Chains A and B, each alone.
Chain A
Amino acid sequence: MIAQLREKAKELERREVQVFIVEPNDSYRLRYLERRAGEGTGRLQRPIDEYTQGAGLWLGGDFPWPVVTDPGSLAGASYGVAFQSSLDSGEPCSRPDTFVIDRDGILRLVHRYRSTDFVAVDEITQLLDDLDEKRRLAGGLSKTGTDLALAFGDPDVELRAGAAAAVYWNPTEAFVPALEKGLGDASPRVRRLSAEALGRIGPAARAAAPALLGAILEIDRETRSRCDRALRAPRPAIQAVHLALAEELRVLAEGFRVRGAATEALVALGSDAVPCLLAALEDRRAEVRLIAAEILARFTAGGESVAPALARSVTSDPEAVVREASIRSLDALGRHDRALVTALRDPDAHVRIAATVAIERTGGCSEWEAVVALVDTLGDMDSRVRKAACYALTHRSDESIPTVSARLEDPDPEVRARAARALERIEACGAD
């Protein structure tokens, strides 16, 4: 672990990047852990060691970055980090959070709830490389003295890329039509830079929403077609396969970067992008509906029409993969809906699993109908669905059991009997 971190540290040091690990506890804990790390591994000597169990070892001399505390949680507060995690208070916590600030002191990357890859070196270096590239391209264009509007239509790809990069650094609404055109450029680099520039313009680039969605779709089509071709190809010599694969992967990687930039740009448009995505959710092509359902998960604010549209998709889309994506998006938005309960009877097992998980996470276990449906799901023909339902009901027993218990006093004897059976089944699955 430490060896890997030291490799990452070397790479970042080479690029003059300073990393700080902000620890959620008070400084006295850090001092203690450092001291213990200095003492070597060890024996559990004091009551506190029951809880640290050697956790301080990584704070020892080999650890490559400063581990710092944030007195009063002021830095956390400024950066919007929900800071109470160490106080066991049950408050929401957004950690782990990652922020990347460029050399000019400008915030360039925000990742909340990052769950994997402690100090994501590849992503950080890619981001810094991209910024350098955009500086270089915009600078190159400026040196040529080419008019920016003309540069967008120049046959030289460097100038077209430079034009998009120049708008990235100086976002200007007037260039939205030129950037839209750039989304269809033959060069993936120009397409990506155009998407990034549109994202920087933000809601004022709302007219570009369909073109951004189109760029994502195009990449997906291309990816599918390349995969199909690769699968259908005859079997040449192994070296040729390697070369072909390397080239395919390079092109696909470029495509994914365009897709990522276009997705981020759509999100940056804010609620102005929602109508376009809602229309796409009704498209006759399943792949368009799928993309729309996935991206709508990112519209947590300003999209009151989003949840009802996703709920409609859950109950009426003919493609299981779209219904599943819509459920996951409702889950990501934290929106419980009756459509999730309906989806527990979906013919596709993956849809039923997604619905079970979403009901559990969006507070459905405090609703009688949802709990009854989950209890019924304990008898699902697919064992994965049964497991998911059992987990939902027992993991949320503080919600599901009171919800059912309240019905034990219902005036309707059938409801009382159903509640009693439901309680028995929840307890039985918890005991398994």
Chain B
Amino acid sequence: MKNIVLVTLLAAGQAPDASSAPDRSAALEALARFEARDHDWKARMEAMVGLARRGESAVPVLIEAARKGSPEVRVLAIQALEVLGDPHARATLLEALSDETPTVRAAAVRALGALGPIDPAAEPFRHLLEKDPERTVRHAAAWALERDDGSSAAAARREALRSYELSRMDSARLHEPAPDFSLLEPSGKVHRLADLRGKKAVVLEFYNEPL
């Protein structure tokens, strides 16, 4: 069951595209691992880091996955396309605005917002904003229309993901040195744990209310 997506995508791989066989295979493998591990957050992180490192060579596979994968894979593929910021993905993302799965529609409108300013009068966006039956999708559409930093934020996330060492994932352990972090204020000010060591204790509150 878990390999159905992979098999489907491999079959789709017969279509011509710009990516080389090793690139295609690596991107497919990242998606298949995500599927095989029940879409847990670590598998998602690994896939995102792997795909960000592949860069534009992963785009053709992600476009296929955004169309033909399971709902979870479609969401992941769209998020990866958002991070990669490749304009070739636009048509697929527009198509995904009418996906049957709300999370896919929400991811697609966010990704389009990240690719550049959205025309609020354009029909698919207006429909999503005003008529989508799911509140979360209307919410995502509203935010995507507000977005004022699309491509630059995506580029920053791409670079951050590319340089992330996966061995650091879930490495925080009680009574051991805390993993360093780099957190960003809206003003652009960066806070790093390394800068506070020896000076202050630190409390990190990972808040839980999507605004």
Contact = CB atoms under 8 A, between A and B. Distances in A.
A211 interface: no
Interface stretch (A22-30, A143-151, A214-222, A417-425): A22-30
B122 interface: no
Contact of A107 (B161, B177, B183, B189): B177
Interface residues of B, number: 71
A85 B208 contact: yes
A71 B210 contact: no
Contact of A27 (B39, B45, B184): B184
Contacts of B106: 87-88
Contacts of A50: 142
B159 to A, nearest CB: 8
Interface stretch (A62-70, A247-255, A315-323, A383-391): A62-70
A93 interface: yes
A376 interface: no
| Binding site secondary structure of chain B | mixed
A27 B182 contact: no
Interface string A91-132: 111011111111111111110000000110000100010000
A144 B93 CA distance: 71
Contacts of B143: 28-29, 48, 51
B174 to A, nearest CB: 6
Contacts of A26: 153
Given A23-B207, A82-B41, A89-B103, A77 B153 contact: no
Given A77-B164, A89-B72, A107 B207 contact: no
A175 interface: no
Contact of A56 (B45, B164, B207, B211): B211
Interface string A45-59: 011101110011000
Interface string B142-181: 1101111100010011001100100011111111111101
Nearest to B197: A105
Contacts of B191: 20, 66, 68
Most A CB within 10 A of own CB, among B79, B106, B129, B175? B175
A67 to B, nearest CB: 8
Interface string B22-44: 00000000000000000111101
A80 B170 contact: yes
B178 A16 contact: no
Interface stretch (B1-9, B10-18, B57-65, B198-206): B198-206
B203 to A, nearest CB: 4
Contact of B45 (A20, A70, A73, A96): A73
A87 B143 CA distance: 12
B185 interface: yes
B106 to A, nearest CB: 6
A155 interface: no
Contacts of B199: 16, 103
Contacts of A27: 149, 153, 184, 186
B107 interface: yes
B206 A19 contact: no
Contacts of A85: 208, 210
B202 A20 contact: yes
B140 interface: yes
Given A52-B211, A86-B210, A87-B75, A104 B198 contact: yes
A88 B153 contact: no
A200 interface: yes
A334 B203 CA distance: 30
Contacts of B206: 22, 24, 76, 79, 81, 95-99
Contacts of B44: 84, 91
B206 to A, nearest CB: 4
Interface in A229-277: none
Interface of B: 39-42, 44-45, 48, 72, 75, 79, 102-103, 106-107, 120, 129, 136, 138-140, 142-143, 145-149, 153, 156-157, 160-161, 164, 168-179, 181-186, 189, 191, 193-194, 196-211
22 contacts: A17-B202, A18-B200, A29-B211, A47-B145, A48-B142, A48-B143, A56-B211, A69-B184, A75-B183, A77-B41, A78-B168, A78-B171, A80-B169, A87-B75, A87-B107, A88-B103, A89-B107, A99-B202, A106-B176, A106-B177, A107-B172, A107-B174
Given A47-B145, A87-B106, A107-B178, 13 more contacts: A16-B199, A55-B209, A72-B48, A72-B156, A72-B161, A78-B168, A79-B170, A79-B172, A80-B169, A92-B41, A100-B203, A104-B197, A105-B198
